[in-house]
Structure 1
Amino acid sequence: MALNFHQLHIFYTVAERGSFSAAAQALHMTQPAVTMQVQSLEDYFGTKLLLRSTKRIELTEAGRTLMPYAQKSIELIRDTDQAMASYTKQLKGKLQLGSSLTIGEYILPRLLGPFGQEYPHIAISMKVMNTTQIIEEILNHQLNFGLIEAPVSHPDMHIEPVMKDELVLIAPTNHPLAGKSDVTFEQAMEYPFVLREQGSGTRLVMEEQLRLQSIDPAQMKIVMELGSTGAVKSAVEAGFGLSVISSSSIKHEVALGLIRVIPLSNIVFKRYFYSIYLKSSLLPISAVSFLSFLRERDLEQWL
């Protein structure tokens, strides 16, 4: 019997998940099939790798020794898929991903067309939802991966920056700051603000950058908190206040003269968009190809 990657992947997933049943669910296998593959791996090495108990699986000393090698094998397969993704033009199948609001509403619609021209046989299914929902659906294997606006910490998730973005200060066209070019954020804070809700990726990035500049976000005059980027733009256009929002989401309104971008002299809101997926799972080659497309192409030509 030869050692194979499939068995290493199953062993790693059982160890990470802590039970054969949880690993079987994650791998879309039956529990007896998972058990059989681990037993085959133990037969190959001639030693026990896992200690079975009624509560939780524990690694033997041999199992602890094998774990980093199993992890490296998974990472090697991922790297191989990524390296070969640009050559697999005849891919077929369905790509299921989740996306947070700004990315799903304003970024990806402009990129799916060019991606579809390169990979015409991949059907993409995208759900626009908040980060918590994306994580839940990935954990439940309803999505291959997600794209989110702010990094999160989760023990089961791999997080990676894949795209750059910038937040800008926007104002109604008749605002006193409209047309000025040397505005500080402290000056802007003298006026009312309309912002995304607490916990949104845009809000988190803005508040983090302000604190890094020793500016307290709690001092902002927030008159309205809204649950979507579109609602924020409409409120600014109607004159309710200033806002900080993704530059990618306002190109249409700025071109039509509906809102104004105010250059800030003392702060820049740079950020990344992140991919998120399970550490223990291997992405389908369609998902790898899409992530490689985001990393390697000059996206500005479409945005």
Structure 2
Amino acid sequence: GYEVVRQEPFVGVVAADHPLAQQSAVSWADLTAYPLIVREEGSGSREILENLAHAANVTFAEFPQVVTVNNPTAIREVLLQGSGISFVYRSVVAEALKYGKLAVLPLQAGQLRHDLDLVYPRDSYFADDYRQWAAALKKR
């Protein structure tokens, strides 16, 4: 079973001093000039990004470098070093955005909102507990 906890913006992000951060609009073609930092294969975030790129007729092979990182916090740290572009849930980078260290890319296609779910074994004895946790998370 699962419970939708919230919808979270999935955004393109770069260091605040990155050349793309200074533009009023960015296309996927603009992105392919820079290294792309992605989650590992099998991650939901990577799948979302692959689908977004595919919808824009872009493949990861078009980027000069694709760096795989297995942790969203590590991706944030790599971005803070100015080492490329990435797509993450906005909450992963909220503090860095707030303090002007990172910037959301003004992608022409706009922002995607994606469900964040609490997933649990369907017939679990603890299913009611999981639903209560999900309700508490929704309130946050």
TM-score by length of 2: 0.83
Higher relative contact order by CA 8 Å / sep ≥ 6: 1 or 2?
A: 2
Counterpart residue type for residue 201 of structure 1: G
| C-alpha distance after superposition, 1:52-106 (max 9, x if no partner) | xxxxxxxxxxxxxxxxxxxxxxxxxxxxxxxxxxxxxxxxxxxxxxxxxxxxxxx
Q: Greater Rg, structure 1 or structure 2?
A: 1
Paired with 1:194 and 1:284, the residues of 2 have a C-alpha distance of: 36
Paired with 2:61 and 2:119, the residues of 1 have a C-alpha distance of: 30
Aligned partner of 2:99 in structure 1 is 256
The answer to whether the Cα contact below 8 Å between 1:205 and 1:269 also exists between their aligned partners in 2 is: no
The answer to whether the Cα contact below 8 Å between 1:183 and 1:262 also exists between their aligned partners in 2 is: yes
Q: Does 1:199 align with 2:46?
A: no
Counterpart residue type for residue 30 of structure 2: Q
Specify the SS of the correspondent of 1:178. helix
Aligned partner of 1:241 in structure 2 is 84
> 5 Å matches for 1:68-107?
none
Specify the SS of the correspondent of 2:22. coil
Q: 1:160 to 1:176 in 2, by over 3 A?
A: same
Aligned partner of 1:183 in structure 2 is 26
Q: Does 1:220 align with 2:63?
A: yes
Paired with 1:178 and 1:288, the residues of 2 have a C-alpha distance of: 40
Q: Which has the higher helix share?
A: 1
- Gap runs ≥5 in structure 2: none
Aligned-residue RMSD, C-alpha = 2.1
Paired with 1:285 and 1:160, the residues of 2 have a C-alpha distance of: 11
Aligned partner of 2:123 in structure 1 is 280
Q: 1:289 to 1:223 in 2, by over 3 A?
A: closer
1:186 Cα deviation after fit: 2.1
Aligned partner of 2:14 in structure 1 is 171
Paired with 1:272 and 1:188, the residues of 2 have a C-alpha distance of: 25
Aligned partner of 1:270 in structure 2 is 113
The answer to whether the Cα contact below 8 Å between 2:21 and 2:104 also exists between their aligned partners in 1 is: yes
| C-alpha distance after superposition, 1:106-155 (max 9, x if no partner) | xxxxxxxxxxxxxxxxxxxxxxxxxxxxxxxxxxxxxxxxxxxxxxxxxx
Q: 1:284 to 1:239 in 2, by over 3 A?
A: closer
- Gap runs ≥5 in structure 1: 1-157
Q: 1:196 to 1:181 in 2, by over 3 A?
A: same
Tell me the percent identity.
23
Paired with 2:2 and 2:56, the residues of 1 have a C-alpha distance of: 26
